[in-house]
Amino acid sequence: MLGSGRQIAVFAPLKTSTFAVLSDLPFQKNNLPMSDLRKTSVQELLCSTDLDREVLVKGWVRTRRGNKYVQFIAVNDGSGFNSIQVVANAEQFPEEKLKADGVENGAAVAVRGKLVASQGKGQTVEIQASEITVYGSADTTTYPLQKKGHSLEFLRDIAHLRPRTNTFGAVLRIRHAMAFAVHNYFNSKGFYYVHTPIVTGSDAEGAGQMFRVTTLPDQNPPLTEDKSAVDYKQDFFGKQTNLTVSGQLEAEVAAMALGKVYTFGPTFRAENSNTARHLAEFWMIEPEVAFNDLQDNMDLAEDFLKSLVRYALEHCQDDLQFLNEQYDKELLSRLQFVVDNDFQRLTYTEAVEILKVAKQKFEFPVDWGTDLQSEHERYLVEKHFKKPVILTDYPKDIKAFYMKLNDDDQTVRAMDVLFPGIGEIIGGSQREEDLTKLQARMAAMNVPEHELWWYLELRKYGTAPHAGFGLGFERLILFITGMSNIRDVIPFPRFPKSAEF
C-alpha cells in the first residue's frame, strides 16, 4: 500500500545575493543585458522543436557538474518536473569563475544562449550558454538542500525551502491540477460554486471542536452582569463566533435555490489529532444537490473521484512518474485501477456480517451499532474487496443529526467512501428534509434549535429531498500522489503545536 518508513525527496539550494555576470558583454546593475529577449519557461523549451535560436531562461540551479573543459548546469524554474541542461564552455565560463560567482546548487540565475539538440544522452535539447547572470547565490556550506535525498521529516522543518525539491514540486503541481479539475468537473456538470462563510456564528455544525474568533482582549475581557461569563455581546460580531468546520449547512441553503452547488474552501478543526491523515486547517469540497437521493449521491461521488484521478493521469504524467519511481511503485497502477473498476457498494449491516466471519483477528470487536474501526475499514478495502468501498445506511446513533432517517427507524442514509491507504476520503448523506423528524433528531442529540432556526426553515418552506458529501482535498492528494503523511501534501501544514511557516 502506501509507502512507509524512510523516504527521500530530492534536493535543490540559497545564499545572500551576489550579482554577477559571467561574460564579456557589457553589464550594468538593474539593467540586464538580456532584456531585449523575452524569457521562456523550461517546460516550453523542453518541448520545443524550434532549435538553433537564441533563448533566455530564468530559474534555480539544481546541479552543476563537469570538468575543466565543459560545465553542465541543470536549471529548473518550476514550470514542470524536468530541468533544462545548460552547457557552459570553459573558455568563456571557467569552473573557478562559476564557483566564485555562485553558480551552484540553489542559485537563482538567468541564462542566455542557443537552444540546440543535445550532444549527450538523457535529454533532447540543451542550451549552449553565452551569458549567465546570478540573481542570488546560495552558500553551499549552509544551504540545507543538498544534491541528495532528504527525509520528509527533515524537509517538514524547512517548509519554506521544500517546494524547491523534486518531490514537493511534483506534489504542488499535482495539487494545483486537482484543484483545477474539481472546478472543471463541477462547472461542466452545471454546478455553481458557492462561497460559504469562514467565520460562523454556529457551534452546532456537528463536526468537531472549533477555533474561537474574537477581538476581545485576552486580559480581563468584559463579563456579563452577574460576572459569571465572558460577555460576547460586546465581541466584534455581538455573539460568540468560530472558524467553520464545514460549509455544508450553508451549502444546503444554496442548493435549495440553485439546485446543484458545491463549496471548496478552508476548514478548521481544533481536534488534538496526531495522525498522518488529519490537519487542523484543511480544504474541503462539499457538493450539495437538490432532489438527489442516496443513490444519486453515490453515483456523483464515484464519478467525481474517477474523473479527478483520470485528470491526474492525463495531465500530471512527469510528476506522477517520479512519485511512482521514488515512493510507491504501485501508484500508477493503483490510480488506473480506480478509474477502471466500479466501487463496491454495501450497507453497514452487510459489512458487519462480513467482518464477523472474517478470519483476520481484530484488536477491536465488531458489533452492530458501534462505529467501524480503522482496522475494519482497511480489511474491507484492502483485503476483502481489494477496491474502493462505499458503505451506507449506518446506525443513526453514530452519525450526525441532519442525516435522513430510514424507514426502519434504526439507520440513516449516510455514506462513507473508503479508499486504500487513506480510509475515509468522503463522508456524506441524504439529508433529512422532514421538519418534524429533523427536530426530533436534534432534540435527541442535544442540538439547540435556536442556533439553527434558519436551517430548520429550509424544511418549513419548500423543503425537498437533497444529498451531498464532503471530500477532504488533502486526502485526495494523498491518494493521487502516493504520499503517506497529509503534512506533506499541503504547503504549510497546520497541526497541534505547529504553525511555524
The residues in 353-372 that bind RNA, with binding defined as CB under 7 A, are 364, 371
Round to whole Å and give the CA distance between 10 and 465. Answer: 51
CB atoms within 10 A of CB 448: 12
Q: Pick one of 216, 276, 332, 440: the residue that binds RNA (CB under 7 A).
A: 276
Residue with cell 467553520: 244
Q: Is 274 in the site for RNA (CB under 7 A)?
A: yes
Instruction: Give the contact letters, 221-250, x = binds to RNA (CB under 7 A), - = no.
Output: -------------------------x----
Check binding of 272 to RNA (CB under 7 A): yes
Q: Which one, 58 or 278, has the nearer CB to RNA? A: 278
Query: Are the CB atoms for 223 and 180 separated by under 8 Å?
Result: no
Among 140, 295, 321, 410, binds RNA (CB under 7 A): 140
Q: Which of 26, 120, 190, 217 binds RNA (CB under 7 A)?
A: 120
Residues in 24-63 at the binding interface with RNA, rule: CB under 7 A: 63
C-alpha 26: how far from chain center: 46
Q: Tell the smallest beta-carbon distance from residue 35 to RNA (Å).
A: 27
CB of 293 to RNA, least distance (A): 19
State the first-to-last Cα distance of the chain, in angstroms, to the nearest integer: 31
Retrieve residue 229's grid coordinates: 461569563
Residue 151 interacts with RNA (CB under 7 A): yes or no:
yes
Asked if 415 contacts 467 with a C-beta cutoff of 8 angstroms, the reply is: no
| Site mask for RNA (CB under 7 A), range 316-355, x = bound | ----------------------------------------
Residues 67-86 that bind RNA (CB under 7 A): 67-70, 72, 74, 85
**Minimum CB distance to RNA smaller for 191 or for 283:** 283
Q: In the window 420-479, what residues touch RNA (CB under 7 A)?
A: 423-427, 470-472, 474-475
Gap between the Cα atoms of 57 and 42, Å rounded: 7
| Residue 66 in contact with RNA, rule: CB under 7 A | yes
**Which residues in 281-300 contact RNA (CB under 7 A)?**
282, 284
Q: At its nearest, how many Å lie between RNA and the CB of residue 29?
A: 25
Tell me the C-alpha to C-alpha distance, in Å, between residue 370 and each of 225, 271, 497.
45, 21, 31
DSSP classification of residue 405: B
- Print the binding letters for residues 98-117 with RNA: x by CB under 7 A, - otherwise: -x----xx------------
Q: Hey, which residues between 478 and 497 contact RNA (CB under 7 A)?
A: 484-487, 496-497
Query: Which is nearer to RNA, 39 or 156 (by Cβ)?
Result: 156
SS percent in the chain: helix, strand, coil, step 5: 30, 25, 45
- Give the interface size with RNA as a residue count (CB under 7 A): 79
From 15-23, 64-72, 169-177, 380-388, give the range in contact with RNA by CB under 7 A: 64-72
SS (H, E, C) 170-223: HHHHHHHHHHHHHHHHHHHCCCEECCCCCEECCCCCCCCCCCEECCCCCCCCCE
394 and 377 in contact (C-beta within 8 Å)? Answer: no
| Residue 67 burial (10 A CB sphere; 0-12, 13-18, 19+) | exposed
